[in-house]
Structure 1
Amino acid sequence: MNDNSSYKTRSTSVVSATNSVCNNIYKKVATDYQKTTTFLSRGADQLPPLLLRIILAYEFWEAGVMKYEGENWFNDMVFPFPFSLLSGESLWIMSTWLEIIGSIALALGLATRFFSLALMILTIVAIQVAHWPTDLRHWSDFWQGYAITDTGFGNFKLPLIFLTMFFPLLFGGAGKWSIDYAFKRYLM
């Protein structure tokens, strides 16, 4: 009987020690997790919008400079209303300068919501005119167009990704590391 009670006492102390170790590990993990999320939350208003702005500015800068240095290929395209009221040359000049000026403004965080909306409209028109599948016979043809390179079924994946990336900037603004934020904070 003595051996049995001694066994129970030892097993209870082992369970108690194990629970204590587990509780300490849990508290350490929970504390570290809380510190990490607090650290990441400090940059939530700054870093994500800045990264989106830089990536989009780079992509639209490249497209604008390519148009500026290249030849007009808009004359052979059919644009939706109301853009169809303008000549291909006018649309070429407008889109070129919107991409160049808009990319500079995005990089600086200047009039971010305005340029996000303007470049979103430009992207929607580009998807419809240049990236959308021209001949859809089957639903599978549509999904083949969700690609980066055009294999005859369109290539609207990248413009669609860019379009999606503009939504946080349109609704949330440029973030704290921007001229928009400085204007709002110091001038208003």
Structure 2
Amino acid sequence: MPPLLLRLILAYEFWEAGMMKYDGENWFSHLQFPFPFSLLADDTLWFMTTWVEIIGAMALTLGLATRFFTLSLTILTVVAINTVHWPAEWNTLSELWQGYAITDKGHGNFKLPLLYLIMFMPLLLGGAGRWSLDYVLNRHHLKH
């Protein structure tokens, strides 16, 4: 049952993030995205991010294409850490450590996305588990 719990927690978090973007204004224009994402227009990135989060959350809830959506959301999370959550400046590990927090006080804010990455690893490596459509579909496919 642990993969189900991981899937549901992550699905909830990414659903919330996706719906906030869906209902909100595009604030990507002031960000510097890493290559190759820097080649895309801000509106395109906003659209892609919104729908990867929403569809990924639905897929994780159902346990459908779990490894694909886990990898997609992992990439999205790494880009978000790089672009938004990592401290803008740090010179010592002590200064970097200040960003390992859930805050908006300007030292970074990479605790939660780092925890998401850790939670994604069992799903990426082990799959969705027995309580998933992936399991049902794979089991049905093996019978035929």
TM-score (norm 2): 0.97
The 4+ residue runs of structure 1 with deviation greater than 2 A are none
CA RMSD between the two structures: 0.7
C-alpha separation in 2, matches of 1:79 and 1:179: 34
* Cα offset, 1:187, TM superposition: 2.0
C-alpha separation in 1, matches of 2:92 and 2:79: 23
Instruction: Give percent identity, aligned residues only.
Output: 66
**What is the one-letter code of the residue matched to 2:9?**
I
Q: Secondary structure at the match of 1:91?
A: helix
Q: Aligned pair 1:66/2:29, yes or no?
A: no
For 1:23-172, what aligned pairs fall within 5 Å after superposition? Answer: 47-172=1-126
Higher relative contact order (CA 8 A, sep 6+): 2
Aligned residues: 142
TM-score (norm 1): 0.74
Structure of larger gyration radius:
1
Q: Which runs of 5+ in 2 are unaligned?
A: none
Q: Any idea what the Cα deviations from partners look like across 1:134-184, whole Å, max 9, x if unmatched?
A: 011322110000001132110100000001100000000000010000000
Give the match for residue 7 of structure 1.
none
**What is the one-letter code of the residue matched to 1:133?**
P
Q: Which runs of 5+ in 1 are unaligned?
A: 1-46
